[in-house]
Amino acid sequence: MFSIDYARILDEKDNLAKYKDEFYLLENIIYMDGNSLGLLSKRAERTLHNLLDSWKTLGIDGWTEGDNPWFYLSESVGEKMAPLVGGTKSEVIATGSTTTNLHQLAATFYKPSGTKTKVLADELNFPSDIYALKSQLALKGFNPDEHLVQVKSRDGRFLNEDDIIEAMTEDIALIVLPAVLYRSGQILDMEKLSKAANEKSIPIGFDLCHSIGAIEHALHDWGADFAFWCTYKHLNGGPGSVAGLFVHDKHFGTTPGLAGWFGSKKESQFDMDHTMDPALDVAAYQIGTPHVLSLAPVIGALELFEEVGIKKVREKSLQLTDYMLALIQQELSDHDFTIGNPVDESRGGHILLEHVEAARICKALKEDGVIPDFRAPNGVRLAPVALYNSFEDVWHTVQKLKRIMDEKRYEKFENKRGVVA
């Protein structure tokens, strides 16, 4: 099991192995950072060039003509993303960025009234979400220090769903939580949490940045009120690619908190009336003009998920991380690593190794041809991605890490992160 020959046998049996050829792999590099930025696929490159060409050949007529008319692009890409989050095609739109979408959704669903004024989040969430929620509280005239409730972690790695539900008190007006924790990779039980919030009539939404394209979702059936996500991690949409959001159809007709021209009904948008006639579905939550060239590669990237299906992606992801965990336990037991992610199937698409020398270790890995991801204060994240990483990649990664630790190669580096970690 621990030999390279075994890894190659696993690759020979892998039905998704052929998709590695769909991507531009870095020369002599093992890429284990797909949970921060996915690699470019040939299909994403093709659709980017196609959209660029439509501008070149059609000019302004590209809004309504060509293979992917720009005027309807956010809706059509949203339809392609809908199966990945378990939403209907009218509940998902490709628009904005992660944080602007959270601002839109918080502005819509955070409706403080009487003593019901607080927002419930957690202490392990990605900072950008917390910044946005504090901003929304301040805009409503509330002190974020008093009105943002952050559920504590019992161990600094994971969240307990029962602790979150216990914090759903009568003064909570909105709940925003991560689907997958960005450090530890823990998957929260979104169905359980949505049910509890629904029973208490508290709107609940999820940040899917580290879950979309890595795990299966059923947001509509679970009763989640809203969700938002980026497309440049597991979806491989490219740096800064347009994000997405989900709004459950039970809220259709609710006036968006932040209005913008592209939230209008398509048929009346160009009437130029100063009274907005909003779309009757999730399209109402758009604010600005679609970022066409940043949406373009997402179209091709999503083709791969349509072809493979998220179920098979998830199955291979679990196999890859299972194999990596087994190798780590075999090869690195003498080097003071702590496995900081769930070891069962409640983990997302990456492994977290904790070590006091994490920043130096990441630099040494990079020098040795492995691209990891450092997360302060002591985390090495490794993400073997189902569509372009192999079992042999996993084997080589652990062997390189073992040599780095055995020979203390990390000691020549400063134990400090780079400007971008």
pLDDT exceeds cutoff 80 at 419: no
Burial class (CB in 10 A: 0-12, 13-18, 19+), 315: middle
pLDDT exceeds cutoff 80 at 118: yes
- Give the domain CATH number at 318: 3.90.1150.10
Q: What is the pLDDT of residue 1?
A: 86
Contact 332, 398 (CB under 8 A): yes
Q: Which of residues 277, 308, 339 is at a domain's end? A: 308
Pair of tokens at residue 218? 């059923």
52 lies in the same domain as 115? yes
264 lies in the same domain as 159? yes
135 lies in the same domain as 239? yes
Closest CA to 349 of 227, 204, 179, 193: 179
Q: 113 pairs with which residues across the strands? A: 116
Q: What is the pLDDT of residue 378?
A: 95
Q: What is the pLDDT of residue 82?
A: 98
Instruction: Tell me the C-alpha distance between 242 and 28, whole Å.
Output: 30
Q: What is the largest CA-CA distance in the chain?
A: 70
Closest CA to 360 of 377, 347, 348, 346: 377
- Model confidence band, residue 237 (pLDDT cutoffs 50, 70, 90): very high
269 lies in the same domain as 330? no
- Give the domain CATH number at 171: 3.40.640.10
Full residue range of the structural domain in which residue 377 is found: 4-31+310-412
Q: Which of residues 259, 275, 308 is at a domain's end? A: 308
pLDDT exceeds cutoff 90 at 421: no
- Model confidence band, residue 417 (pLDDT cutoffs 50, 70, 90): confident
pLDDT digits (tens, 9 = 90+) for 209-231: 999 999 999 999 999 999 999 99
55 lies in the same domain as 197? yes
Instruction: Tell me the C-alpha distance between 14 and 10, whole Å.
Output: 6
Instruction: Tell me the C-alpha distance between 392 and 30, whole Å.
Output: 10
Helix (H, G, I), strand (E, B) or coil at 395: helix
Assigned domain for 124 exists: yes
**Residue 280 CA: distances (Å) to CA of 35, 79, 219, 254, 261:** 34, 16, 19, 9, 14
206 lies in the same domain as 160? yes
Q: What is the pLDDT of residue 221?
A: 98
Assigned domain for 316 exists: yes
283 lies in the same domain as 367? no
pLDDT digits (tens, 9 = 90+) for 292-350: 999 999 999 999 999 999 999 999 999 999 999 999 999 999 999 999 999 999 999 99
249 lies in the same domain as 297? yes
50 lies in the same domain as 75? yes
183 lies in the same domain as 133? yes
pLDDT digits (tens, 9 = 90+) for 5-45: 999 999 999 999 999 999 999 999 999 999 999 999 999 99
Q: What is the pLDDT of residue 416?
A: 80
18 lies in the same domain as 50? no
Q: What is the pLDDT of residue 414?
A: 87
Instruction: Tell me the C-alpha distance between 257 and 263, whole Å.
Output: 11
Q: What is the pLDDT of residue 309?
A: 98
- Neighbouring C-beta atoms of residue 392, cutoff 10 Å: 16
Q: Which residue has better confidence, 415 or 141?
A: 141
Q: From the annotation, which residues make up the binding site?
A: 98-99, 126-129, 207, 210, 232, 261, 289
Residue type, 401: L
Helix axes 127-139, 98-109, angle to 10 degrees: 40
Q: From the annotation, which residues make up the binding site for pyridoxal 5'-phosphate?
A: 98-99, 126-129, 207, 210, 232, 261, 289
Q: Is the peptide bond before 377 cis (omega within 30 degrees of 0)?
A: yes
Q: 354 pairs with which residues across the strands? A: 338, 379
Q: Which of residues 249, 278, 308 is at a domain's end? A: 308
Assigned domain for 39 exists: no
109 lies in the same domain as 57? yes
Assigned domain for 419 exists: no
Helix axes 42-58, 292-308, angle to 10 degrees: 140
pLDDT digits (tens, 9 = 90+) for 153-204: 999 999 999 999 999 999 999 999 999 999 999 999 999 999 999 999 999 9
Overall number of domains in the chain: 2
Contact 283, 128 (CB under 8 A): no
Q: What is the pLDDT of residue 89?
A: 97
